[in-house]
Chains A and B, each alone.
Chain A
Amino acid sequence: MAKPVVIVVGADKGGVGKTTVSRTLLDYFSANNVPTRAFDTESPRGTLKRFHPEITEIVDMTTTPDQMKIFDTLNAVSPSVTVIDVRAGLMSPSLVALRDIGFLDAAKSGQITFAVFHILGSSIASLDEIAETANFMTGAKYFLVKNFINNTSFFEWDQSTYNSYFHRIKDATDLTIPKLNEMAFEQVEVASVPFLKFVANKGIHDDPANYSFVLRGYVRHWLANVWSEFDRIKLTDLVGGGKSVLRGGEK
């Protein structure tokens, strides 16, 4: 049986696009036929759940019952991948909680595959976040995501300062999420569907929709770029797939 995979998407800063990245991950796994479940920690009203209601549960990661709901079921449920969208400010407390329950040790000993997608903001505070997060990353795959979707300019920092933080974490990988046309992004928000369904011109229940061809084109192009980044970091290898599969979006 394949090892369970837990992917935490988070940042201590708000508004850096954590949920957007989580959504692209869920679309990516869906297109690669990897069974996935998701937890949205934006309690009580989760944004991720709005887009992926069938596979997403809203949880409060700081409470023991919800921690049990997530981690005690890792081996018991069929989806091999668990994506956790950690709300702003909860990244560090969540990692502390994971350490305390012995999850990080399990990852270190190879019982669980653990990956962190750390979404970076443009401020110097993000660099401090890297330093803080680095302490928990032994045994985990650590991805530093520069998310340009909300037009962030990353050159507010000195590149060499960034590199000095970046290299503190062994095997950390840099990842770039390109900018998506604002109107296209808004329309997907309004439609409240996964990016994949928007591209396929479908509503939330696979009913035919009538989205703009232009906006669908922009989303498809953008999603292909994001996925090529995921391909570059061999995300499917992480979940034990590693096979070249025909994606839903490419059919």
Chain B
Amino acid sequence: MPATPVYIICSPRPQVGRTLIARLLCEFLLLKNGNVAAFDLNLKEPSLLEYLPHVTETADVMDTYGKMQLMDRVIVDDGLGKVIDLGFHAFDEFFRMSEEIGFMKEARRRNVAPMVLFVADNDRVSMRGHEMLRHQIPPANFITVDNEYVVRGELSEALTQGHTLRLSALPLFLKTYIDRLTFSFTGYLRQEKDSSTELHQWIRRNYFAFREIEMSLILQRS
């Protein structure tokens, strides 16, 4: 039986496109599996909860009760894909806690497959966060997201070691378009008949990348 995937979209920096990736991933899993459970750990940024209220709940890792509420759910092998949108303010605490409670080890034991998607920036905080995660997360469960909109194609070499997922930048008018709370990526694919549009291709390219990540998780298990 395939492992239950848990995607952790994270960055120690604000405004790097983390929630956008979490939205894309949630919609991809909804399209593919018909369900997903998303956890929003944002206090100060645009929230996944506002975009996908039906599948998202808020979570917190600042106290033990919040940690239990979140981690006791994501460690369950129930076949339901999970997406955690980990706000920058919770980055350190989340990974400190997951290291302390042995999350990666227990996940492996329980047929749960965590995949950490680190949304990179070129500043020192990102470098330090990336370095910390590279020591904590096995390479097969760690992907650096190169968001062209943030790093402008100049992702630092230190961040490109290991698996990388490239998210190409959209023109500003399309960026504004997809940032609307009512916008749905899958809805757009269904409604827009012209598959040659830039947005159509952008969404399909990203869905394809997520499918490849899923494949890598299946291959890891086999």
Q: Is B one of A's binding partners?
A: yes
Q: Which of chain B's residues 94-125 have a Cβ closer than 8 Å to chain A?
A: 97, 100-103, 106
**Is B72 in contact with chain A by the CB < 8 A criterion?**
yes
Interface of B is mostly: helix
Cβ of A212: which chain B residues have Cβ within 8 Å of it? 68, 72
Cβ of B64: which chain A residues have Cβ within 8 Å of it? 181-184, 214-215, 218
A214 close to B102 (CB less than 8 A): no
A213 close to B100 (CB less than 8 A): no
Q: Which of chain B's residues 20-47 have a Cβ closer than 8 Å to chain A?
A: none
Q: Which of chain A's residues 196-225 have a Cβ closer than 8 Å to chain B?
A: 212-218, 220-221
Cβ of A213: which chain B residues have Cβ within 8 Å of it? 71-72, 75, 101, 106
B76 shortest CB reach to chain A, Å = 9
B71 close to A220 (CB less than 8 A): no
CA distance A221 to B102 in the complex (A): 8
Interface of A is mostly: helix
CA distance A17 to B102 in the complex (A): 26
Q: Which of chain A's residues 177-191 have a Cβ closer than 8 Å to chain B?
A: 181-184
A215 close to B68 (CB less than 8 A): yes
**Is B173 in contact with chain A by the CB < 8 A criterion?**
no
Of all chain B residues, the one with the shortest Cβ separation from A210 is: B72
A210 shortest CB reach to chain B, Å = 10
- Bitwise interface map of A from 158 to 193 toward B, beta carbon under 8 Å scored 1, else 0: 000000000000000000000001111000000000
Q: Which of chain B's residues 61-104 have a Cβ closer than 8 Å to chain A?
A: 64-65, 67-68, 71-72, 75, 97, 100-103
Cβ of B67: which chain A residues have Cβ within 8 Å of it? 214
A183 close to B75 (CB less than 8 A): no
CA distance A216 to B97 in the complex (A): 12
CA distance A27 to B103 in the complex (A): 23
A98 shortest CB reach to chain B, Å = 40
Cβ of B68: which chain A residues have Cβ within 8 Å of it? 183, 212, 214-215
In this complex, the member of A184, A217, A218 whose beta carbon has the largest number of chain B beta carbons within 10 angstroms is: A217
B101 shortest CB reach to chain A, Å = 2
Give 29 CB contacts A-B under 8 Å. Answer: A181-B64, A182-B64, A183-B64, A183-B65, A183-B68, A184-B64, A212-B68, A213-B71, A213-B72, A213-B75, A213-B101, A213-B106, A214-B64, A214-B67, A214-B68, A214-B71, A214-B72, A214-B97, A214-B101, A215-B68, A217-B102, A217-B103, A217-B106, A218-B64, A218-B101, A220-B101, A220-B102, A221-B100, A221-B102
